Amino acid sequence: MSDLNNPTLTPEKINALLGEVLRGELARILSEQDHGPVLSDAEIDRRIAALEARRNDLRRGARRQDFRALEAPVTGAARALNLEIAAPLPADLGRRAVDLVREIAELEADVLDGGDARTEALPLVGRYSAAAVDDFTRAPILLSAAWTRTLNMYPTKAMKGNIDAIGQVALDYFGDVPVTSISAEDQEKFFLWMARLPKRHGRAHGKNRFTEKARREGRLLKETVQLSKHDEIAKADLEDEAIMQEIRARTDISDIEKRALLSERLTPRLAMKTIKRNRDGLNRLFKGAADLGCRNAPVAISYKVIERALAAAAPDDPLYVRVTQPKIRMPWTEERLAGFLTSPIYTGCFSAHRRWRSGEVIIRDALYWVPLIVLTLGSRIEEILLLKRKNLLLRNSVHCLAIGLDPDQGGKTEDAQRVVPVPQLLLDLGFVEWVRDLDDEHGPLLFPDAAQRSEINDLTGPFSKALNRILDRLGLGDFDEDFYAMRKTLSSMLHLSGVTEGQRQALAGHRRGTVLNRHYTAHNTRHLKAAVDRADFRLEIDYSPRHGFPVIASCDLAEQESLAVDVTLDHLGEAERITVIAPGTQDELFQFDRVDPESGDRLPRSVVREAAKAFRELIGSRSMRLPRNPMKRSAIEHFHALG
């Protein structure tokens, strides 16, 4: 029964428990040696005899597997370490506890007989810690202490986010336990649990800077249920099970199609890339513990061990699919680019808070300029939001922006420090004149309105959320073709226009061998200006008397809208049914069924090829909006190739 009472009592946890028992007893012995009263010889002899008698009693109890005499100190140590343990003590723990307590009694007897506690305790302490005896008696190194130490070891802003993420998740799972108690087996279970976390875990808790501010001010708030990580997993599992049963019950589609449907409907969980990043973060926590003197700090298990554990935990179910949602940032399609550049943001909106609605107002602030700068220069969002008015330069007769050069702008890398030309598109829209006309009340930043959105020293997050809300309202929101993907959009356009890789990397602030972008860009502004202007967005820009500045009149990037293509998969993973929908309607322009609806027979290959040829002729050079599922995309592309 003892093993059932303590199902997770690993060797690492046993060591932590015994170390805590030693810590408590040694602290008492040191206190009595340093501050206790002077005892007579008779009193010392009596105490030494009592200690010897206790040692004998513990040995006799161990013969009978009776460890009740040690239940109080061991369970007390477990409480101090936030570990769960129940009586009776299991044999492996009981025997080792007997050995330790008998050694402690012998140590105490030697100290009473004139020995020095610190010297006598050195070998015993060395089994559990590299710390000095006095340091060891203070407290064990808990996960929270390792977390704090790790933040000091890796003080950069980027690292803080990663460390805080794994620190919080580890505390939620393990509790604030001694680092030495976390075994390799515990880690495998931890990463299996982590793999079940929803991708967006912790984001629907209703706790943000606005609610916190309202709470401080005493305003009424709508109560939001706060879910733990365990609760979020349980909720996602329950919802997925209902979807699984619904899809499993269908008899009109193949297992491959069922898997494709499940991959689109099940809750996305943490991707392997995130799990690996958290594995590295956990290893940093362990290094933080070692830096605090933890002698036996564990090492994080390897990627391969995690991958094997995940594979072994997968159920033997033909419909099982572990859904993740890794972001593969794709360049924007010409249709979406044209839709964005001719949206109410640039042609006239209803108001500052209704920029997705058409109107008479064009507001030239961060939401207007920053997307254009990112799109035409390929810059990172944060470095543009940090630009100052003084960062507009005239160098070699070329208007430029100095990016990441000021100490407070802190480029992501040394290569991010650069001087880049202002693209002609921005010049034509009056960017330089806009900067010149800013009054003193505007302040030193080019885009103070973006800074005002944030109270937590995070410019990018609040700004991106605001822009993404507008994109969603405009029907331009897309998981893969998001705002950040505008950088890849420019890089693709420049590549197709023959701009060299070195110039593209210099403009974007990427590493380019041993040449520093700061010096390269500063001396090649004219060449870079010619290079960046090769990206042709096919805009017509006219001066607007009503607004008093140039505006975008039209964009000829996409002459035709994309066609929406959908597919149903057969048991071989090929297209069983394909439909093409006309833009902005529900009208079917094309339909293909591999199985004859009357006979139920699969069509011969020659008929399939004729249908594929008709499909290819319909599509022509127009772009397609394909399903997100990679299997379905592949099936459509294969069918397209048959034509």
Q: At 610, which CATH number?
A: 3.30.420
Any domain includes 217: no
Same domain, 354 and 491: yes
Phi, psi dihedrals of residue 349, rounded to the nearest 5°: -115, 175
Residue 456 has a pLDDT of 57
Any domain includes 42: yes
Same domain, 568 and 529: no
Cα 346 from Cα 554, distance rounded (Å): 10
CB atoms within 10 A of CB 314: 10
Domain count of the fold of the chain: 4
Same domain, 130 and 179: no
Any domain includes 534: yes
Same domain, 621 and 488: no
Same domain, 479 and 583: no
Same domain, 265 and 238: yes
Any domain includes 327: no
**What sign for the dihedral angle of Cα 29, 33, 35, 36?**
positive
Using the 3D structure, point to which of 86, 113, 136 is the last residue of a domain: 136
Low-confidence ranges of the chain (pLDDT < 50): 1-7, 514
Same domain, 155 and 301: yes
Residue 5 has a pLDDT of 40
Cα 321 from Cα 363, distance rounded (Å): 47
Any domain includes 497: yes
Same domain, 495 and 421: yes
Q: Is 567 helix (H, G, I), strand (E, B) or coil?
A: strand
CB atoms within 10 A of CB 360: 10
Same domain, 163 and 286: yes
Residue 3 has a pLDDT of 37
Same domain, 23 and 131: yes
Q: Which domain holds residue 95?
A: 2-136
Query: pTM of the prediction?
Result: 0.63
Any domain includes 224: no
Same domain, 290 and 351: no
Residue 219 has a pLDDT of 65
Identify which of 411, 201, 194, 221 has the alpha carbon closest to the alpha carbon of residue 309: 194
> Which two three-digit tokens encode residue 561?
């809208």
We report the CATH number of the domain holding residue 409 as: 1.10.443
Cα 392 from Cα 64, distance rounded (Å): 84
Phi, psi dihedrals of residue 357, rounded to the nearest 5°: -95, 140
Any domain includes 219: no
Which distant-in-sequence residues (6+ apart) come within 8 Å of 364 by Cβ? Answer: 434, 549
Which distant-in-sequence residues (6+ apart) come within 8 Å of 143 by Cβ? Answer: 167, 170, 171, 174, 175, 176, 177, 178, 179, 182, 285
Any domain includes 210: no
